[in-house]
Amino acid sequence: MHRPRTTFALSVCVLCLLLRVSAFSQGVHLSDAQADKIGRRLWQNECGGTVSGLTSWNSGENFASLGIGHFIWYPVGQSGPFEESFPPLLAYLKESGVRLPAWLADSHGCPWPNRSAFLADLQSARLQELRTILANAVPLQARFAANRLEAALPKMLASAPAGEQAKVRQNFYRVAATSSGMYPLVDYVNFKGEGTSPTERYHGEGWGLLQVLEAMNEGPAVEQFRTAAAQVLTRRVHNAPPERHEERWLAGWLSRVRSYE
């Protein structure tokens, strides 16, 4: 007795999904080609693909934004509501064999105390050296970003309300199982974080990967992820303190999530 073609096709699709999910659950492993491709897309998103964009300090912010993911670095002795991601990147580069100058390897915080000091030093030997290191380590930065994604799911499930945990897990794997899903997940978690930190909230509402997965509906996974990301980011701008003027960034953020396809 022959199995109906539709049933056989469905079985094949389910098997492919399970294989992809199983592979993902064992860790995020990027090939050299994937790391280079994702790294260059992150670089384009955050820095316009320019070397100069690898060292930035945005107006109205109290931290430097460095590397292809604009990883956050707070000045010495300072902190803020957003997760600091540049020191872990430095540790990862060092572990991966990248030779760092002493001023960078032994640092205990961003050596520039504020944006004015940073901009005044923009063409200094230190920042030129840093830009060279970061431009030569694009694939490693992509792998660092992928490592963050790998660690994100347990954190998100621990933070999600009990009634949302199954949905978050399902949507995470729905996106991960698509042929292009690795890029949106890696990009968004490094763009706006996991969404688990209680300090990364406006009016009690976050804007990280967790909130995007919670906002997804049924339908094509990446399309739903893209739509949910746009909704979450628009909500963030609406909730943001007026003095931050976050509306100036929304068009760029929405353009970025439209690249998830």
Distance CA 144, CA 94 (A): 12
Of residues 32 and 196, more confidently modeled: 196
Q: Which tens digits make up the pLDDT trace of 79-132?
A: 998 889 999 999 999 999 999 999 999 999 999 999 999 999 999 999 999 999
23: number of CA atoms within 13 Å, CB side?
12
Distance CA 83, CA 7 (A): 47
Nearest-5° angle of CA 130, CA 188, CA 238? Answer: 110
The predicted pLDDT at position 159 comes to 95
The structural domains of the chain, with segments of one domain joined by +, span: 48-145, 160-261
Residues 6+ apart with CB under 8 A from 52: 131
Task: Determine which of 21-25, 221-225, 254-258 has the lowest per-residue pLDDT on average.
Answer: 21-25
